[in-house]
A and B are shown apart, each in its own frame.
Chain A
């Protein structure tokens, strides 16, 4: 999978004594399941498969949650004939974490065809985590009904097409919807109403409040030829410029990519269903078939840890197999 640690940062904007290059180097091992946590300004790494170590490390963090994405329940083509099994494997991995996450974020394409039974199936599988999941829709979740079903299921208290925000342990979470009203030839789109809401939502927050934004399509331009970007994300990021720590979590591209730009860390998650090719490495961005025994190494979950008082969230990806 793409190792994006080459997108290293040259500046230490947060002045927290952490060499971001060191942080990113730590995350280079994240694919094999390494937990990187900031403790008292020092970066420490622990292997996820050594429960005692990672337990001690995470206990010192104030908040830990897991991002999953692109479960595509209902997909059954050669790239993965059993997406329910791989979602279950992701849940098993979550349930096996030494320190359970406080909640889950699902960054969309929950279902493959927006069908009721597909949403039901995902809900059923996620139930065994015993945790609440916060959802934002992918383009596969809003087919034929403009997302009405999705909002009824997962959008209580949300506005417009389903955007919302909430706070946990001093971190402000913002769920955005960028898969509605897409224009011919365009990318993802947030739209005027949502941008106005976002500006207002974060206006009165202190700049020291850590922000986590989650949305389906990447909020940075990964590969416009394949629609991997959002037309009006620059405006959204403009409203977040004052904050010392912004983490953007996305899905849609079915592979892990990371980019750090000033105070903003962008991260896209692997799918729990099937991989897609790296930008430009195939004629189109469709499901990529890999040898069956390798499939789970292309799928995964993302563990995110926040230690109060430290600007950057530790984002760790781990494969399903």
Chain B
């Protein structure tokens, strides 16, 4: 179906759009040199995504070990020290090394293509950002070998991924694990801020002719909002980590409670980063769904202006909700009430989004490719994740649910059920553009159904031990609370997910080597990236495209009924 759907005469992207054949096959050394020194936004995007997927496997293995330990009550397969390291590393890895890198990778790859630009605004800053991010991951995992300090303490941080002070201070965290952890997040934070600056500059100054702000694809809009949020949220995290490092090395007392410092200050610093961070991760996931759902429903997105407004609204509201992570620290009722209200208000723009996705599918002709399956499941799962979020926003009930497996289930519903599902959706959707090969659909369906079963088995059932009072962060538990059976079912679900991941990895490799050629526009889509060959040449567009509507390729494919008549 691939080439026949492209309605453009002649070679794609204009007459000189076809990349010329390279006669000499580069050696491995040359290829390595090319990737290391590249400033091409597509190569950097791919490196971000590849880097994230690699850490996804690492973090996944950590999760499997955690589930194995919790399979039986009073289990001693893993010691408490190692268990604490595992969940700390799992959390830090998944949020910073997986979530952030993959979403920035997608933004890097897609934003310039979608707005008809040849690269990001600052290509060298882009490369710098990626390598800083990469360095962050290395620092974090180097703590496994370099963290041992005094008395053999250390070897990987073991104080949860938000490292509540004073547990990270010298008195309670000897050795160098907290140092590597702080350093990793500082370094990666600089990389992330660089990427955000770049995305903002690119969307504001690199758009092609006719690409007004309100003709930008929603993916670009959402990444613009995310970039703005990164600037306001990563900065406090970086500041807090620097303060912690000052405490540890220069005798500062910001969080050092023994010397009158304020642990509460760390709570605030961390969560003013930590909660918007959830939206920093989930908005790019929405962004992917915003492209995939219309294409496979064969309809324009329903309520484009409302979707933009809702995204910007989420961006603003999300920086006022952080203390809903702190309902139990003993705030006054008025403060608690404020954060109840602000948190529940986030439900309004997200509700608008869910309704708009359903309305986009309504009356459409839905093609359930693997990509669309993931996006469809995402909509329902995000609905449920949002509703458990509403439950957690109810402060008095939160006092019971906070710090239990209910919370763990809730945020994994967001992180896996929404973000990871959208990332998979995006990979099935754009893999053909990135590599020129289609991902195998049969393997894709296996991947989807196995992962769906595993996901629901793990994370639906994980709510229950939480409701029954099982706290998180415990390496083992006493029998007789009714928690055993749920932990076992959850563990089995994790195995399903692991198998699905193996299928996926196999699919990535198999399709790259033996997949069918995708052609420039395999999905019959409407945004500018499909106007280039697959994979696009280094310069993306031989001539600068000119657009007249939100769906430039629809206009070309349907000259009798173009979008610009209606916008």
Q: Do A and B come from one complex?
A: no
